[in-house]
Amino acid sequence: VGSEMCIRDRVKVARKYTEDAKVAVRNVRRDANDSLKKLEKEKAITEDEQKKAEAEVQKLTDKFVADADKRSQAKEKEIMDI
């Protein structure tokens, strides 16, 4: 029972690290989108360019969040197999 609790605690820690990573990715997305809005407002880029760039940022965000989830699932499986 004690080692089972230890394993569950390790899984919780792994999930926390994954959530922290996903929050960091989303914060980068927010900062990137804010920068794009500023550039569009300053007329450095067109609205179409802004929308296209925001879509690309979202695509990258989705990719990195999915990668974090995939790695987390693999790590949880590794922990559970100990």
pLDDT in tens, 61-77: 999 999 999 999 999 99
Burial class (CB in 10 A: 0-12, 13-18, 19+), 60: middle
The CA distance from 38 to 57, in Å, is 15
Amino acid at the residue 48: D
pLDDT in tens, 47-61: 999 999 999 999 999
Rg of the chain (C-alpha set)? 19
Quick one: average pLDDT of 7-17?
A: 95
- In the 8-state DSSP scheme, what is residue 1? -
Crossing angle for the helix pair 2-41 and 47-80, to the nearest 10 degrees: 170
